Amino acid sequence: REAEAWQARFEPAQTRDGHRVEVAANLGNTAHAADAVERGAEGIGLLRTEFLFMAHAREPDLATQIEEYREALDALEGRPLVARTLDVGGDKPLPYWPVPKEDNPFLGLRGIRLSLTRPEVLETQLRALLMAAAPASEAADKPRPLRIMLPMVKDVGEFRAARAIFERLLDEIPAAERATDVQLGVMIEVPSAALLAPVLAAEVDFFSVGTNDLTQYTLAIDRDHPELSAQADGLHPAVLRLIEMTVAAAHAHGKWVGVCGELASDTLAVPVLVGLGVDELSVSARQVPLVKARLREFDLTEARGQAQLALAQATSEAVRDALEVR
Ligand code: PEP
Ligand code: MG
């Protein structure tokens, strides 16, 4: 099966009946973008930019960031780049950006909350992303699609604060020197954001569901807990209901939804997510050919049936049992 999946890796990602679902790669290092394309990725669905920051002894300046983001965009040759702004704090400390000791770092200063305490860092990063995605001068007609997403957003207040910086930059930077095809979206990984998806969907350009954190915060189980993490299963019906609400809200506003957490590469979950209406799956580069192959095994009607079956269960164990039986 693996050899077959590899052979077909450049075929478009779609279900047996031709329903397109984009399959992209999660990356922590822009030097790996070319490899992701070679494995059949249709874009980068999550660039974890905190790893770029962690690789430097101090905050990378504008020129350094532009160079790194450009490396990914060059390798993508017109495929979209979904870049997440700095997501540190919680489980991901940044040595040169110390956060006062917290009793509950997972509930503390992290993600967008932390970024908004240092707006000049966020501004430099947004500027670098926008400038890196300027169409190359020798190919001004070739857009370099850029999707910027904000981590750990809990409500529209945080989104608006970040958008204000983003919009000021769009005004400030001459149009020829910045991205022309750009969207600003949020990750859905805090339950409040999923519950308020109808409010957010009116203002954002897209959602990407981070099932790792969404599961952790919905079930109140540390995703890295040595004994409990196995119970932090994204196929829990509570998590699936939040994803269902998120997709419904996005589509009602004509916006797209990706899933970039671990759940996107789970064999049982793929048809469920497609059945819920998810438009893009972003998985580790190694998994891209397998997820594409998995999509070709079912049609949209079957996927919708799997989604309804999963939503009707009471526990994640029941969901897995119900999906396995078929
Ligand atoms: C997530 O939370 O699901 C996610 C994709 O982000 P990270 O794993 O980097 O927290
Ligand atoms: Mg996360």
DSSP one-letter code for 153: -
39 C-alpha vs ligand 1 centroid, how far in Å?
A: 22
The answer to whether residue 42 scores a pLDDT higher than 80 is yes
Looking at this protein, which amino acid is placed at residue 21? V
50 C-alpha vs ligand 2 centroid, how far in Å?
A: 11
Q: Which atom of ligand 1 is nearest to the CA of 50?
A: 9
188 C-alpha vs ligand 1 centroid, how far in Å?
A: 10
Name the burial class of residue 77, with classes exposed (0-12), middle (13-18) and buried (19+) by CB atoms within 10 angstroms of its CB: exposed
How many CA atoms are closer than 13 Å to the CA of 29, on its beta-carbon side?
A: 7
How many CA atoms are closer than 13 Å to the CA of 164, on its beta-carbon side?
A: 8
182-188 and 44-48 strand pairing: unpaired
149 C-alpha vs ligand 2 centroid, how far in Å?
A: 12
- Say which ligand is closest to the CA of 51: 1
Q: pLDDT tens digits for 216-239?
A: 999 999 988 999 988 999 999 999
Share of the chain above pLDDT 90, in %: 90
136 C-alpha vs ligand 2 centroid, how far in Å?
A: 32
- Look at the chain and count its residues: 326
- Say which ligand is closest to the CA of 263: 1
230 C-alpha vs ligand 2 centroid, how far in Å?
A: 17
Which ipTM value was assigned to this complex?
Answer: 0.99
Helix (H) or strand (E) holding 150: strand 146-150
- Say which ligand is closest to the CA of 212: 1
If pLDDT is split at 50, 70 and 90, which confidence band does 326 have? low
Q: Which residues line ligand 1 (CB under 6 A)?
A: 46, 48, 189, 210-213, 260-261
Q: Which atom of ligand 1 is nearest to the CA of 189?
A: 2
Q: pLDDT tens digits for 100-130?
A: 889 999 999 999 999 999 999 999 999 999 9
Q: At what angle do helices 316-325 and 300-311 cross, to 10 degrees?
A: 150
Mean pLDDT score, 81-96: 90
Average pLDDT in the chain:
95
pLDDT score recorded for residue 82: 98
Q: Which atom of ligand 1 is nearest to the CA of 46?
A: 5
81 C-alpha vs ligand 2 centroid, how far in Å?
A: 18
Instruction: Give the residue whose CA is nearest to atom 8 of ligand 1.
Output: 212
Asked if residue 44 lies in contact with residue 302, where contact means CB atoms within 8 angstroms, the answer is no
201 C-alpha vs ligand 1 centroid, how far in Å?
A: 20
- Supply the pTM of this predicted model: 0.97
If pLDDT is split at 50, 70 and 90, which confidence band does 29 have? very high
Instruction: Give the residue whose CA is nearest to atom 3 of ligand 1.
Output: 210
- Say which ligand is closest to the CA of 84: 1
Helices (H) and strands (E) in the chain, counts: 15, 8
Three-state SS at 289: helix
If pLDDT is split at 50, 70 and 90, which confidence band does 140 have? low
d(CA 248, CA 241): 11
Return the exposure string of 293-316: e unless at least 16 CB atoms fall within 10 Å of the residue's CB, then b: bbbeebbbebbbbbbebbbebeeb
For a ligand 1 pocket test, name from 236, 260, 263, 282 the mutation site with the most ligand atoms within 8 angstroms of its C-beta.
Answer: 260
- Say which ligand is closest to the CA of 215: 1
For a ligand 1 pocket test, name from 187, 207, 273 the mutation site with the most ligand atoms within 8 angstroms of its C-beta.
Answer: 187
d(CA 5, CA 291): 9
